[in-house]
Protein backbone atom coordinates (compact mmCIF):
# COMPACT_ATOMS: atom_id res chain seq x y z
CA UNK A 1 0.00 0.00 0.00
CA UNK A 2 1.46 3.32 -1.08
CA UNK A 3 2.29 5.91 1.57
CA UNK A 4 3.23 9.54 1.12
CA UNK A 5 5.99 10.69 3.46
CA UNK A 6 6.35 14.42 4.00
CA UNK A 7 9.20 16.47 5.42
CA UNK A 8 9.11 17.71 8.99
CA UNK A 9 7.65 20.76 10.70
CA UNK A 10 9.01 24.20 9.87
CA UNK A 11 9.14 27.54 11.65
CA UNK A 12 9.68 30.51 9.36
CA UNK A 13 9.77 34.29 9.64
CA UNK A 14 7.34 36.51 7.71
CA UNK A 15 8.62 37.31 4.24
CA UNK A 16 10.69 34.15 3.93
CA UNK A 17 10.03 30.99 1.92
CA UNK A 18 9.47 27.33 2.75
CA UNK A 19 9.90 24.19 0.67
CA UNK A 20 8.06 21.04 1.72
CA UNK A 21 8.76 17.63 0.24
CA UNK A 22 6.51 14.63 -0.34
CA UNK A 23 7.82 11.22 -1.32
CA UNK A 24 5.49 8.41 -2.36
CA UNK A 25 6.78 5.04 -1.22
CA UNK A 26 5.88 1.87 -3.04
CA UNK A 27 4.06 2.99 -6.16
CA UNK A 28 4.47 4.20 -9.73
CA UNK A 29 5.36 7.89 -9.47
CA UNK A 30 4.57 8.90 -13.03
CA UNK A 31 1.13 7.30 -13.19
CA UNK A 32 -0.53 9.89 -10.97
CA UNK A 33 -0.89 13.56 -10.24
CA UNK A 34 0.05 15.03 -6.86
CA UNK A 35 -1.90 17.75 -5.11
CA UNK A 36 -1.15 20.08 -2.21
CA UNK A 37 -3.85 21.05 0.27
CA UNK A 38 -3.50 23.14 3.39
CA UNK A 39 -5.51 23.39 6.58
CA UNK A 40 -5.21 26.36 8.90
CA UNK A 41 -5.76 25.74 12.63
CA UNK A 42 -9.41 24.85 13.23
CA UNK A 43 -10.28 25.51 9.60
CA UNK A 44 -11.23 23.52 6.51
CA UNK A 45 -9.25 22.19 3.58
CA UNK A 46 -7.90 24.50 0.89
CA UNK A 47 -6.58 23.32 -2.47
CA UNK A 48 -3.31 24.97 -3.47
CA UNK A 49 -2.31 23.26 -6.70
CA UNK A 50 -1.15 20.05 -8.35
CA UNK A 51 1.49 18.64 -10.62
CA UNK A 52 1.47 15.91 -13.25
CA UNK A 53 5.03 14.52 -13.05
CA UNK A 54 4.82 12.72 -16.38
CA UNK A 55 4.20 16.04 -18.16
CA UNK A 56 5.97 18.27 -15.65
CA UNK A 57 2.89 20.49 -15.74
CA UNK A 58 1.57 22.29 -12.67
CA UNK A 59 -1.71 24.11 -12.00
CA UNK A 60 -2.25 26.53 -9.14
CA UNK A 61 -5.22 27.93 -7.30
CA UNK A 62 -5.80 31.55 -8.22
CA UNK A 63 -5.30 32.59 -4.61
CA UNK A 64 -1.72 31.32 -4.60
CA UNK A 65 -0.68 32.24 -8.14
CA UNK A 66 2.77 33.81 -8.11
CA UNK A 67 3.50 32.69 -4.57
CA UNK A 68 3.49 28.88 -4.84
CA UNK A 69 5.63 26.59 -6.98
CA UNK A 70 5.05 22.85 -7.20
CA UNK A 71 7.77 20.72 -8.74
CA UNK A 72 8.55 17.03 -9.19
CA UNK A 73 11.90 15.29 -9.34
CA UNK A 74 11.39 12.12 -11.37
CA UNK A 75 14.81 10.71 -10.52
CA UNK A 76 14.18 10.85 -6.76
CA UNK A 77 10.39 10.43 -7.13
CA UNK A 78 9.77 13.37 -4.84
CA UNK A 79 7.26 16.21 -5.14
CA UNK A 80 7.93 19.65 -3.67
CA UNK A 81 5.79 22.64 -2.74
CA UNK A 82 7.50 25.98 -2.23
CA UNK A 83 5.57 28.91 -0.78
CA UNK A 84 7.16 32.35 -0.76
CA UNK A 85 6.49 35.74 0.86
CA UNK A 86 5.19 33.98 3.94
CA UNK A 87 2.63 35.69 6.17
CA UNK A 88 1.32 34.76 9.58
CA UNK A 89 -1.90 33.44 8.06
CA UNK A 90 0.10 30.88 6.11
CA UNK A 91 0.43 29.05 9.43
CA UNK A 92 -1.23 25.72 8.67
CA UNK A 93 -0.72 22.01 8.14
CA UNK A 94 0.24 21.30 4.54
CA UNK A 95 -0.77 17.97 3.04
CA UNK A 96 0.27 16.31 -0.18
CA UNK A 97 -2.01 13.74 -1.75
CA UNK A 98 -1.91 11.45 -4.76
CA UNK A 99 -4.62 12.06 -7.34
CA UNK A 100 -5.84 11.20 -10.79
CA UNK A 101 -3.17 11.34 -13.48
CA UNK A 102 -5.05 13.80 -15.66
CA UNK A 103 -7.90 15.20 -13.58
CA UNK A 104 -7.60 16.05 -9.87
CA UNK A 105 -10.91 14.27 -9.19
CA UNK A 106 -9.82 12.23 -6.15
CA UNK A 107 -7.06 12.34 -3.55
CA UNK A 108 -5.81 9.13 -1.98
CA UNK A 109 -3.73 8.55 0.00
CA UNK A 110 -2.63 11.68 1.85
CA UNK A 111 0.68 12.39 3.47
CA UNK A 112 0.91 12.79 7.23
CA UNK A 113 0.97 16.58 6.95
CA UNK A 114 3.67 19.16 7.58
CA UNK A 115 3.08 21.88 10.15
CA UNK A 116 4.29 25.33 9.10
CA UNK A 117 4.41 28.09 11.69
CA UNK A 118 5.06 31.60 10.43
CA UNK A 119 6.06 33.88 13.25
CA UNK A 120 8.47 36.71 13.89
CA UNK B 1 -16.09 31.52 2.62
CA UNK B 2 -15.73 28.10 1.01
CA UNK B 3 -16.69 27.54 -2.60
CA UNK B 4 -18.91 24.54 -1.71
CA UNK B 5 -21.50 24.89 1.04
CA UNK B 6 -21.89 22.21 3.73
CA UNK B 7 -23.79 22.31 7.02
CA UNK B 8 -21.43 23.05 9.88
CA UNK B 9 -22.70 20.13 11.92
CA UNK B 10 -25.02 17.14 11.84
CA UNK B 11 -25.82 14.58 14.48
CA UNK B 12 -27.42 11.18 14.74
CA UNK B 13 -27.84 8.24 17.05
CA UNK B 14 -26.15 4.87 16.60
CA UNK B 15 -27.95 2.81 13.95
CA UNK B 16 -29.59 5.81 12.31
CA UNK B 17 -28.80 7.28 8.89
CA UNK B 18 -27.68 10.82 8.20
CA UNK B 19 -27.20 12.86 5.06
CA UNK B 20 -24.60 15.60 4.57
CA UNK B 21 -25.28 17.99 1.71
CA UNK B 22 -22.74 19.85 -0.39
CA UNK B 23 -24.00 22.64 -2.63
CA UNK B 24 -21.98 24.08 -5.48
CA UNK B 25 -22.65 25.82 -8.78
CA UNK B 26 -22.85 25.14 -12.50
CA UNK B 27 -19.07 25.58 -12.65
CA UNK B 28 -18.43 22.55 -10.48
CA UNK B 29 -20.94 20.04 -9.09
CA UNK B 30 -23.62 21.07 -11.56
CA UNK B 31 -21.47 20.16 -14.56
CA UNK B 32 -18.93 17.55 -13.49
CA UNK B 33 -19.40 14.13 -11.93
CA UNK B 34 -16.14 14.55 -10.03
CA UNK B 35 -17.38 14.98 -6.47
CA UNK B 36 -15.37 13.32 -3.73
CA UNK B 37 -15.81 13.02 0.03
CA UNK B 38 -13.22 12.81 2.78
CA UNK B 39 -13.37 11.75 6.41
CA UNK B 40 -10.98 13.42 8.85
CA UNK B 41 -10.34 12.64 12.48
CA UNK B 42 -8.78 15.34 14.70
CA UNK B 43 -5.06 15.65 14.11
CA UNK B 44 -5.11 13.16 11.24
CA UNK B 45 -4.92 13.36 7.47
CA UNK B 46 -8.16 13.15 5.49
CA UNK B 47 -9.22 9.80 4.04
CA UNK B 48 -11.05 9.34 0.74
CA UNK B 49 -14.42 7.64 1.21
CA UNK B 50 -16.32 8.49 -2.01
CA UNK B 51 -15.10 9.63 -5.44
CA UNK B 52 -16.75 10.40 -8.77
CA UNK B 53 -20.03 11.16 -6.91
CA UNK B 54 -20.85 7.61 -5.83
CA UNK B 55 -17.84 5.30 -6.20
CA UNK B 56 -16.36 3.75 -3.07
CA UNK B 57 -12.64 3.01 -2.83
CA UNK B 58 -11.66 -0.51 -1.91
CA UNK B 59 -11.90 -1.05 1.82
CA UNK B 60 -14.45 1.68 2.54
CA UNK B 61 -17.57 0.51 4.31
CA UNK B 62 -20.73 0.16 2.16
CA UNK B 63 -22.48 2.18 4.86
CA UNK B 64 -21.06 5.22 3.04
CA UNK B 65 -22.79 6.22 -0.19
CA UNK B 66 -22.86 9.29 -2.41
CA UNK B 67 -25.27 10.87 -4.85
CA UNK B 68 -25.86 14.07 -6.77
CA UNK B 69 -28.82 16.10 -7.96
CA UNK B 70 -28.21 19.25 -9.93
CA UNK B 71 -25.58 21.30 -8.15
CA UNK B 72 -25.96 19.50 -4.82
CA UNK B 73 -24.10 16.37 -3.82
CA UNK B 74 -24.94 14.28 -0.78
CA UNK B 75 -23.12 11.83 1.45
CA UNK B 76 -25.27 9.27 3.26
CA UNK B 77 -23.98 7.32 6.21
CA UNK B 78 -26.27 4.48 7.22
CA UNK B 79 -26.16 2.42 10.40
CA UNK B 80 -24.27 5.14 12.27
CA UNK B 81 -21.48 3.93 14.51
CA UNK B 82 -19.51 5.78 17.16
CA UNK B 83 -16.40 5.52 14.99
CA UNK B 84 -18.12 7.62 12.29
CA UNK B 85 -17.81 10.70 14.50
CA UNK B 86 -15.43 12.89 12.49
CA UNK B 87 -15.28 15.85 10.12
CA UNK B 88 -16.44 15.30 6.55
CA UNK B 89 -15.42 17.37 3.54
CA UNK B 90 -16.78 17.39 0.01
CA UNK B 91 -14.71 18.40 -2.99
CA UNK B 92 -15.37 18.96 -6.66
CA UNK B 93 -13.43 19.51 -9.83
CA UNK B 94 -14.32 22.86 -11.36
CA UNK B 95 -13.69 24.83 -14.52
CA UNK B 96 -11.34 27.79 -14.35
CA UNK B 97 -7.87 28.31 -12.96
CA UNK B 98 -8.68 26.89 -9.52
CA UNK B 99 -9.33 23.29 -10.50
CA UNK B 100 -10.55 21.99 -7.16
CA UNK B 101 -12.84 23.39 -4.50
CA UNK B 102 -13.63 22.03 -1.04
CA UNK B 103 -16.60 22.50 1.20
CA UNK B 104 -16.17 24.06 4.61
CA UNK B 105 -16.56 20.72 6.35
CA UNK B 106 -19.27 19.12 8.47
CA UNK B 107 -18.74 17.87 11.99
CA UNK B 108 -20.67 14.66 12.58
CA UNK B 109 -21.60 13.85 16.16
CA UNK B 110 -22.83 10.34 16.93
- Could you tell me whether strands B106-109 and B9-11 are parallel, antiparallel, or unpaired per DSSP bridges? parallel
* Partner-chain contact A44 B103, CB within 8 Å: yes
Mean per-residue pLDDT over chain B, rounded:
97
Read off the pLDDT of each residue in A68-95 and give the average, rounded to a whole number. 97
Give residue B96's pLDDT band: very low, low, confident or very high (50, 70, 90): confident
Mean pLDDT of chain A, nearest integer: 95
pLDDT of residue B15 exceeding 90: yes
Q: What is the mean pLDDT of residues B84-100?
A: 95
Residue pair B62/B76 in contact (Cβ under 8 Å)? The answer is no
A11-65 tens-digit pLDDT: 999 999 999 999 998 777 888 999 999 999 999 999 999 999 999 999 999 999 9
pLDDT of residue B86 exceeding 70:
yes
Beta partners for residue A11, in sequence order: A117
Nearest to A106 among B36, B99, B104 (CB): B36
Q: Best of B40, B66, B98 to disrupt the A interface by mutation (most A CBs within 10 Å)? A: B98
* Helix, strand, coil % in chain B, rounded to nearest 5: 5, 45, 50
Task: Report, as an integer, the average pLDDT of A66-84.
Answer: 96
Q: What percent of chain A has pLDDT over 90?
A: 91
Measured CA to CA, the distance from residue A10 to residue A90 in angstroms comes to 12
Which residues of chain A neighbour B48 with C-beta distances below 8 Å? 106-109
pLDDT of residue B1: 54
Average pLDDT over residues A94-103: 94
Q: Identify whether A109 is preceded by a cis peptide bond (ω within 30 of 0).
A: yes
Contact A63 B93 (CB under 8 A): no
User: What share of chain B has pLDDT > 90, as a percent?
Assistant: 95
Please name the member of B32, B46, B91 whose beta carbon is closest to the beta carbon of A110: B46
Cβ–Cβ gap B105/A105 under 8 Å: no
A44: contact with B, CB 8 A cutoff: yes
d(CA A62, CA A40): 18
Question: B48 and A35: CB-CB below 8 Å?
Answer: no
Give pLDDT, residue A99.
Answer: 95
- Counting DSSP H helices and E strands in chain A, the numbers are 0, 11
Residues of A with CB below 8 A from B102's CB?
37, 44-47
Amino acid sequence: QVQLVQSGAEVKKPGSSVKVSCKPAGDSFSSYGFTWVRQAPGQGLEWMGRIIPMLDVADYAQKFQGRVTITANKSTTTVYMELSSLKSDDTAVYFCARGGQWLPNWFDPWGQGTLLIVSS
Amino acid sequence: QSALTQPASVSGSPGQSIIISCTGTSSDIGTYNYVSWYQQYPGKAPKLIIYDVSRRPSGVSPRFSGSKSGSTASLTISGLQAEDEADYYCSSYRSGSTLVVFGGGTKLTV
